[in-house]
Amino acid sequence: MSACRKCGQEISFRYIDGILRPLHAYGSPCGEALPFTDESLKRSVHIRCPRCPQMVYLVRHNGGSVWLDELGWPWPKHGCFDSQPHDSGNTSVAPIPSVMFSVTEKGALSVRGMGEFPVTLHREQWLQLLGQADAIREFISKHRRQLKRTPSSL
């Protein structure tokens, strides 16, 4: 890696709009503050857009979230979530899913959005659990008075 002539920090180079530009950590230009905290970027999730087949980054920051095509300057916002409806040939826009999927560093499938903590299992465990869907529904039906509901479903 090269060092910035202005601040001395490590930089890399990337072509943006056909121009070779020097970029600092997380892709910001020299002297420009990052729009997201380091913690927000570390916790970002690389997932498939719920409105199109493209892989995007979901970054949660300051109580909100943003969908980005790339992590780094110029921080390109994913087009499906512009203020105008996404034109995919139909007039209805798919809602943002209540759950999100990601692959952990150890290769497990992690499901987020069902509670405070993610539900994480390996592929074979998910397939085994999905194979028991009818038995789980039956168990829930039999024990519905003993089982508590989530506060959001009351």
> Is 0.75 surpassed by the pTM of this model?
no
CA geometry: angle 5, 8, 13, nearest 5 deg: 65
Dump pLDDT digits (tens) for 25-36.
655 556 666 666
Contacts for 63-66: CB closer than 8 Å, 24+ residues apart: none
- Looking at the structure, tell me whether residues 87 and 103 fall in a common domain: no
Assigned domain for 153 exists: no
For residues 39 and 92, membership in a common domain is answered with: yes
**Nearest C-alpha neighbor of 16 from the set 63, 94, 75, 97:** 75
Does 27 share its domain with 55? no
Could you report the per-residue pLDDT of 34-62, keeping only the tens digit for each? 666 767 777 788 888 877 888 888 888 77
Judge contact between 107 and 125, C-beta under 8 A. no
